[in-house]
Amino acid sequence: MDELRTSQPISWLDDVDPDGVVINPAHELYGRSLAGVSLRYPGASGSTVGSDRIVNLAVRGRAPKRIRLERADPITLWGAILGKIDVEILGAPRTPVDRGRLEALGVTGEVADFLARAAELLGTDEFVPADHVQIAGVSYKTITDTGLELRRYWGSRYRFRAKHVTINPAGMDLEDWRSLGFPEAFAQKQQEIIDIYLRMGATPTVTCTPYLTGAMPPPFTDAFLSESSVVSYANSVLGIRTNRESGLSTLLYAIAGYGPRYGLHLPENRQPRLEVRVTEALRGPVDFGLLGYALGTRVHGRIPYLTGITSRPSVEELKALSAAGAASGSIDLYHIEGVTPEAQAHRVSLDRVEETIEIDRAVLEDAKRTLNTGRPEELDLVTFGCPHASLDEVREIAAYLEGKRIRSGVTLWVCTSRAVKTLSDRLGYVATVEAAGGHVVADTCMVVSPIEEMGHRTTATSSAKAGKYLPRFCRQNVIFDTPQEILSRIVV
Ligand code: F3S
């Protein structure tokens, strides 16, 4: 079998269509079908529900027959294991796993089989308690019927042994989906997915900002997190140790109550190899999102160490940076001089830095131009909250909308967690947004909800992560700008 080879990572959610054809024009495999081929590539980038996409392709006979990975990548690995695709990690020693060890931890049967197989491929025979797990792969839009079937299977047999299991956004607002216009058939399947997770023992956080609303472990402890922006934020800002797990690996680790110790769980793998001098004073979350987006295209798998960020970034700025870097370049961990915990605790060494690059205003402007693909006059949906809006972000939008009206023909969604929506409601922000004609939408977001099925074609966002996914995964033209600029275009 001939080998199809690429030096570029693949984002299975939006680089590849449901028939296994590469649809990202910027990818060197653009237009090629991956069905039935032997594929060699560095690893998956972008969304961690890529593993569900791989299983889906396998079930439909559209997946690669064989995958050779250049680095330990749980997204591809778990998609391949559950999709029964031949997979190997090049150069990684295969470590035989003693099943007795897993059984002594109470992990038995098929769950032990899967864990042992994954650990062997990842080159470890060490397992640590999975006390904190965050599961992506909750939206029916992202996991589709194949993913629902898998969850039905696991949900009918197992409960979570992990103590704290939080879940990612769903494909709809779980309370107001009908009034917001979500399709009934979609809603039924979405509700079934949520019911399965809750029966298994998940906490219904239904958000990609569990660090704002749910239980997170203290710094320097191990966790198994799978939404890419959460992984980046937890590793970098909170000092938690997690790999960028897939939706499926976290499901299995939550059932087992244990997960393999490898990659970013090990302090020696958390050292930077790229120094990034930011020569521009950054202004707000949009600038930080653009920095993350630009950085993602430049790191090439290396952990960056950022210098030149002189004022202490806010939570909103750091979540924008984490989300955009993870989406555009799979940045699972970054350090900022004097800011992030490992840098502050002097646990970062620059000994292995092999290159220094600079990021200036021109780079940020270039990223902004790339994200803008739509025409402002065609705007029909305005969305904020990727990652889910903090209370401060909801407050700022409500303050802007006070006493104003959104022009007809434009829908406004402020996407957030149920917990933040509840607080926003008590503080009167929800009423203000609704009085202007907008909606504070909980449990979902502009990317994982079926906005294209709901008739939207041109979407505005201030999130570089959303700007990356909306064109191909949601078939949207994108207007990217600051919240103030976007809002000024739609109020009367
Ligand atoms: Fe969260 Fe959706 Fe963005 S899951 S990070 S708001 S794409």
360 and 480 part of one domain? no
Which ligand 1 atom sits nearest the alpha carbon of residue 209?
A: 1
- Same domain? 182 vs 250: yes
Distance (angstroms) between ligand 1 centre and the Cα of 401 equals 23
The pLDDT assigned to 49 comes to 87
Final residue belonging to a domain, choices 55, 72, 99? 99
What pLDDT was estimated at residue 1?
Answer: 74
* Residue among 228, 386, 440 whose CB has most ligand 1 atoms within 8 A, to mutate: 386
**Paired sense of beta strands 127-129 and 258-260, if any:** antiparallel
Confidence of residue 72 (pLDDT cuts 50, 70, 90): confident
Q: How much distance in Å is there from the Cα of 388 to the middle of ligand 1?
A: 6
For residue 103, pLDDT over 90 is answered with yes
Of all atoms in ligand 1, which is nearest to the CA of residue 228?
A: 5
236 and 136, same structural domain? yes
Ligand 1 and 447: CB distance under 6 A = yes
Closest atom, ligand 1, to C-alpha of 169? 4
4 CA to centre of ligand 1 in angstroms: 32
CB 386 near ligand 1, within 6 Å: yes
Quick one: 145 and 228 in the same domain?
yes
* Shortest-distance atom of ligand 1 to CA 448: 2
What is the structure's pLDDT at 47? 80
319 Cβ inside 6 Å of ligand 1: no
424 C-alpha to center of ligand 1: Å?
19
List the structure tokens of 326. 């993870």
Q: What is the pLDDT of residue 91?
A: 84
Please check the confidence at residue 310 and state whether its pLDDT lies above 80: yes
Tokens of 490: 């739609």
The arithmetic mean of pLDDT across residues 272-290, rounded, is: 97
CATH of the domain at 146: 3.30.499.10
Regarding whether 477 and 415 lie in a shared domain, the answer is: yes
Q: In terms of domains, do 400 and 349 share one? A: no
pLDDT exceeds 90 at position 442: yes
Task: Give dist(CA 415, CA 168) in Å, integer.
Answer: 13
Mean pLDDT of the chain: 95
| Digit-coded pLDDT (tens) for 131-187 | 999 999 999 999 999 999 999 999 999 999 999 999 999 999 999 999 999 999 999
CATH of the domain at 51: 3.50.30.10
Its domain, for residue 84, covers: 3-99
pTM for the model stands at 0.94
If one counts the domains in the chain, the total is 4
| List of residues 6+ apart from 268 with CB closer than 8 A | none
Residues 123 and 83 in one domain: no
Indicate whether residue 448 lines ligand 1 (CB < 6 A): yes
Residues 173 and 46 both lie in one domain? no
CB of 388 closer than 6 A to ligand 1? yes
Q: What pLDDT does 174 receive?
A: 98
What is the average per-residue pLDDT within 109-123? 94
What is the spatial distance between Cα 316 and Cα 313, in angstroms, rounded to a whole number?
8
- Å from CA of 386 to ligand 1 middle: 5
The mean pLDDT value for 42-69 works out to 92
Residue where one domain finishes, among candidates 330, 347, 369 = 369
465 CB near ligand 1 (under 6 Å): yes
Ligand 1 atom closest to the CA of 139, numbered from 1: 4
Which is the closest atom of ligand 1 to the Cα of 168? 4
pLDDT band at 48 (very low <50, low <70, confident <90, very high): confident
Contacts of 118 (CB under 8 A, 6+ apart): 74, 77, 78, 81, 249, 252, 260
Clarify whether residues 198 and 230 are in a common domain. Answer: yes
Same domain, 333 and 444: no
Question: Are 244 and 277 part of one and the same domain?
Answer: no
Q: How far apart are the first and last CA of the chain?
A: 62
Query: Which of 369, 398, 419 finishes a domain?
Result: 369
Note the pLDDT tens digit of each residue in 335-356: 999 999 999 988 999 999 999 9
Write the single-letter amino acid at 490. Answer: I
404 pLDDT tier (thresholds 50, 70, 90) = very high
Q: Are residues 251 and 379 located together in one domain of the fold?
A: no
Answer whether 323 contacts ligand 1 (Cβ < 6 A). Answer: yes
